[in-house]
Every structure is written in structure tokens, then in C-alpha cells.
Amino acid sequence: MRRRDFIKVTAGSLASWPLSARAQQPKVPVIGILSSFGQTQSAQTIAAILRGLSENGFVEGQSLTVEYRFADGQYDRLPGLAAELVRRPVDLIITAAPPAAVAAKAATTTIPIVFVMGSDPVAAGVVASLSRPGGNATGMMLISNTLTLKRLEILFELVPRATTIALLVNPFIQDSPPEIEATQAFTQQRGLQLEVLNAATLSEIDAAFSSLAKKRPHALVVAGDALYLSRPKELAAQVARLALPAIYPFREFPASGGLISYGTNRPIAYQQAGVYASRVLKGTKTTDLPVMQPVTFELVINLKTAKALGLAIPPTLLALADEVIE
């Protein structure tokens, strides 16, 4: 081979090498995280999702690209945000809270969805059943609202002389009717009076607390809802101004100044959602992943708030508490 021909061959090989190498690089998957909450309120859960993904080889900015969409508690924005992720398009969508899961399911029947829901995904039409989800969705069920009776029992142990209990609930979520019925059954059995306060917007929450100030119940149960959970500090502050003992569905509330909570550890559930997402990205079908339910629940007590209310926490509750905030 002449030297000139050798240079041509070598130069041609060098020129084509980067294209060949790029062609062999694995595709970096793109996922969407669709949250019913705001960015600040979603920080902890997003960290948990990313932790579950990274533990299984998907690291944001390296082996994974993440598109974020936040509804800031405005549920009517979720369909449009879900549609944006579908148009992107993403390889998978992880949703936070029931409204986001419903919006994602309505937006696509082909892109896999991994959800975290505090309500029944079967009743919401997101999956066919818990053991056999079918379709393109699966995930974690927090079972928040089915714990209402347990929360009422805990609250009554705190304020055994209560005769009037209030329930703050969003009437437009699917679990509200059974939650109200369960609370009514509990109060009727004990001869208590129940005040149901419906609040689906920020202005309605303010109106509900104005009503509470006039009615002066002895205790309050705050139902599980994405809107309430997106503003735990504000909600706890409004309850504190009324000097009202209240029980909440998640740890975020006593951590923000509320009295007590009983429910699922949300960061663990979201971390597991990240693990499920990684399995789907590696090829597992959502139909092969049953909806997971928690087997343990946490009781969190804020002693500082109890002291401000003049409440003595029963030793039995303190012994059962998973966390005591002092």
C-alpha cells in the first residue's frame, strides 16, 4: 500500500470512529415526575424516588434524565402537565398523590406509570386490581384514609372527655364518603357530635377554620389529601391558633408543629416507587408488578405542641410512638 493510500484509510477510520462509538452508547432513559404538590413540598419525596432509582443504577444527570412537573395543589393543571410529559415523550411517569395518577392514566395507555397513592387505585380506575394491575400502571398504595378509625381511637385516648369532633375533608376525592361514614359510625357509637368541614381549595380551608372558631369542637381529624399535605405548616398553624388537639395522616404535620400523626412513612413508599421504576426501565412489565401496600405504620407525637395545649400524652401512646418530637 502506498503511503498516500494508508493516510487516506487511516483518516477515514478516525473520522468514522466517533459516529460508530456514539451509535454504541446506550440510550439514557427519560422519566417524568408528576406531582400534585409544589416543588418545595415535593423535595423530600423526590429525593426518596431518586434514591430508589440510584440504588438500582439510574442516577439523574448520568444514566437518567428527569422531567419535573408540579401542580402546586391546583389539580386542574394536572391533565395539561401530564400531556406535556407524554408529548416529550418520556419513557416512564412517576406520580405523587391520587390526582396526579388519575391524570397520567388519562393521558396515556402506553407509557408505564408508577404511582404513589393514599387512596384506592382500583376505585380510581388506575389499575384493574392490586395483585394484577393490568394496563400500564402500578405502584404504592399508602392506605391513608382507611386508617381513620385508628386515628379516631388515638385522638379519643388523648381527649377522652371530648363530646364534639370535627373532620376536615376534601369532598371531591373518592375516599371522602367512606371516611365520613366511618367517622360518623365511630361518633354515633360513642354518643359524640360530628362536624364535617368540606374544603377543596385554600379559600375553603380558611372558611373551614373560621367555622371551627365559632363551633369550638374539642378535637379535629385532618383527612388525607394532597392539598392539605402540600401546606402542613400553614394547616398546623391554623389549628394552633384555635388551641385544638388534632390528629393528621402523615409525619409531615407534627414535624411542622401539629400534635400527632398516624399513617404510612411516605419517604419509604416513594423510595420503593423509585425501585419499581428502575425495574420497569430494565424491562419488567407493570403488569408483572403488583400494587404494594405498607405493612407497618408510624405514630409521631410532638410533645412541644402537647405541652402548649396542656395535654398530657398517655404513657401507652408514648410507648407506641415511633418518633417523639421534643
SS3 for 300?
Answer: strand
Q: What is the pTM of this model?
A: 0.84
Taking alpha carbons only, the member of 322, 325, 317, 321 closest to residue 157 is 317
Q: Is the dihedral of CA 202, 117, 99, 151 positive or negative?
A: negative
pLDDT digits (tens, 9 = 90+) for 120-178: 899 889 999 999 999 999 999 987 666 888 999 999 999 999 999 999 999 887 778 88
What is residue 294's predicted lDDT score, i.e. its pLDDT?
86
Task: List the beta bridge partners of residue 33.
Answer: 68, 94
Q: How far is CA 83 from the centre of its chain?
A: 20
Name every residue whose Cβ is closer than 8 Å to that of residue 228 and which is 6 or more positions away in sequence: 168, 170, 205, 222, 235
Torsion of CA 291, 153, 311, 142, to 10 degrees: 10
Domain ranges of the chain: 30-142+265-288, 145-263+298-325
Domain 30-142+265-288 shares a fold with domain 145-263+298-325 = yes
pLDDT digits (tens, 9 = 90+) for 225-267: 888 888 899 999 999 999 999 999 999 999 999 999 999 999 9
Domain 145-263+298-325 sits in CATH 3.10.20.30: no
What is the assigned CATH class of domain 30-142+265-288? alpha beta
Tell me if 93 sits within 8 A of 114, measured CB to CB.
yes
